[in-house]
Amino acid sequence: MADKTVTLIVDGAGGRGSGCSRFALEHPDRLRVVGVAEPDDYRRERMAKTYGISPENQFKTWEDMAAREQFADAVFIATQDAMHADPSVAFADKGYDILLEKPMAPNEADCRRIVESAKRNGALFGVCHVLRYTSYTRKLIELIRSGAIGDVVSLNRIEPVGYWHQAHSFVRGHWRNEQESSFMLLAKSCHDLDWVRYVMGVRCTRVASFGSLKHFCPEEAPEGAADRCLDCPAESNCPYSAKRIYLGFLEKGRAGWPVDVLTPNPTPESVQKALREGPYGRCVYRCDNDVVDNQVVSMQFEGGRTANFTMTAFTKGEGRRTSIFGTRGEIYGDDTRLWLTDFLTDKTTEIDTAQPDATALGGHGGGDYGIMGAFVRAVARRDQSLILSGPDETLESHVMVFRAEQSRREGRMVEID
Ligand SMILES: NC(=O)c1ccc[n+]([C@@H]2O[C@H](COP(=O)([O-])OP(=O)(O)OC[C@H]3O[C@@H](n4cnc5c(N)ncnc54)[C@H](O)[C@@H]3O)[C@@H](O)[C@H]2O)c1
């Protein structure tokens, strides 16, 4: 028997809210978007038009939407990081199942509050740790759990954020300043620590971390740098030039993310205007950013196992790379392909996990599609076990992130109890 059609309301019709909702366009029999809360008129109306949302189900804020009696099965909370906890608790209290964007919240107390309210209300609950849902991760887990490399002893992972992505999101953009959003390890790499925990398959017991804001600060500005790239005499020799990054993308026909964050429906004129007036035209050495641009985390896992993680801005920004070392073999992966070496035969096999692009939700190697499909199925069948990133798993890996950040700040190793 086919699953029932799940109804969803969306809190925040920005990049993620509008992007992941497209699952409903591809599977109208499985998901219907029936409400939206969004203060930005353009975004709210775009969403309403796309899904035929009736006027009484369009709201300017999540508070207004939560004030109404429950009118859908589930809510997708896709507002900014610091605006996750209150809506999550409010909608759970109203009876909704919850799909929450990562990170759960910028502090541990709020993360615990979210989990408590979901459990107290019996809500099905998932966090968009999309990397758990890719075909790459599925294949990797299958290999490890089948014993292909014996007992996993250690792991090494690098997240090459990318020079322009760092400048866009973490120097000029939404996640540049901890007070306004989250610290870097939480904003960008809660995915990675969650993924490392998932792959290791046992609990992390202690962490040590180092990291700094090394480069994107006034002391590193080139001689004579101006406040905005459009006025800057040093612009042509600066890899972080906003002019080169955004107009360059536009010239290559890339008008979606990240260019559409500057202005809806980007044109050379509207992007120039945004660079002249908006936050994305600012010199990367003269912003109000304070999050780190490089960080490492060392992790001790149960049973004498270890892992290392590196986040760095200073890369061209391709897929995350991981080596997993076992007692009988090793696996190296680049987010799409896996290379499995068997110590018994000394042979290496390459496995391509890329899947034909059957969906418009291509984001995160198919992870966006994966989480949406899993959540919708879980709600339709009332089965929390179909969600790989539920309240307990997510809280556990968020706690790893909070302890690692504590270690970086306090300059000492931190135990995880
Ligand atoms: N899972 C992932 O891989 C992934 C990737 C990127 C971002 N994120 C996370 O997703 C979240 C959203 O990111 P984004 O890039 O879509 O941000 P965004 O800024 O594009 O979208 C947030 C939207 O919330 C709206 N909003 C503000 N106040 C509101 C209110 N009171 N009620 C309702 N809506 C309100 C804003 O106007 C905006 O349109 C963030 O927490 C971010 O960290 C997750």
Mean pLDDT, residues 212-231: 97
pLDDT at residue 312, rounded to an integer? 98
pLDDT above 90 for 342: yes
Q: Domain check: are 222 and 210 in the same one? A: no
DSSP state of 282: B
pLDDT above 70 for 357: no
pLDDT tens, position by position, 120-153: 999 999 999 999 999 999 999 999 999 999 999 9
pLDDT band of residue 1 (cuts 50, 70, 90) is confident
Q: Domain check: are 187 and 228 in the same one? A: no
pLDDT at residue 91, rounded to an integer? 98
Q: Domain check: are 25 and 55 in the same one? A: yes
Q: Domain check: are 198 and 329 in the same one? A: yes
Round to whole Å and give the CA distance between 185 and 200: 19
Going by C-beta distance under 8 Å and a sequence separation of 6 or more, which residues neighbour residue 21? Answer: 8, 10, 13, 33, 47, 50, 51, 76
Q: Which domain holds residue 340?
A: 132-216+289-357+392-415
Q: Which atom of ligand 1 is nearest to the CA of 37?
A: 33
- Residue 23 tokens read as 């699952």
Q: Domain check: are 308 and 404 in the same one? A: yes
Structural domains of the chain, count = 3
Q: Tell me, yes or no, whether 385 lies in a domain.
A: no
Lowest mean pLDDT among 42-51, 215-224, 362-371, 375-384: 362-371
Q: How far is CA 330 from CA 1, 55, 289, 305, in A?
A: 42, 56, 39, 15
pLDDT at residue 330, rounded to an integer? 98
- Distance, CA 99 to ligand 1 centroid (Å)? 13
Q: Tell me, yes or no, whether 370 lies in a domain.
A: no
Stated as kind and residue range, the H or E segment containing 370 is helix 367-381
Q: Cβ(368) to ligand 1 under 6 A?
A: no
Q: Domain check: are 202 and 334 in the same one? A: yes
Q: Cβ(363) to ligand 1 under 6 A?
A: no
Q: Domain check: are 275 and 293 in the same one? A: no
Q: Domain check: are 119 and 143 in the same one? A: no
pLDDT at residue 361, rounded to an integer? 67
pLDDT tens, position by position, 392-413: 999 999 999 999 999 999 999 9
| Cα atoms in the Cβ-side hemisphere of radius 13 Å centred on 19 | 20
Instruction: Give the CATH number for residue 193.
Output: 3.30.360.10
Going by C-beta distance under 8 Å and a sequence separation of 6 or more, which residues neighbour residue 329? Answer: 148, 149, 150, 340, 341, 342, 343, 344
Q: Tell me, yes or no, whether 196 lies in a domain.
A: yes
- Distance, CA 139 to ligand 1 centroid (Å)? 30
pLDDT above 90 for 174: yes
pLDDT tens, position by position, 11-55: 999 999 999 999 999 999 999 999 999 999 999 999 999 999 999
Mean pLDDT of the chain: 96
pLDDT tens, position by position, 177-196: 999 989 999 999 999 999 99
pLDDT at residue 359, rounded to an integer? 65
Q: Domain check: are 230 and 208 in the same one? A: no
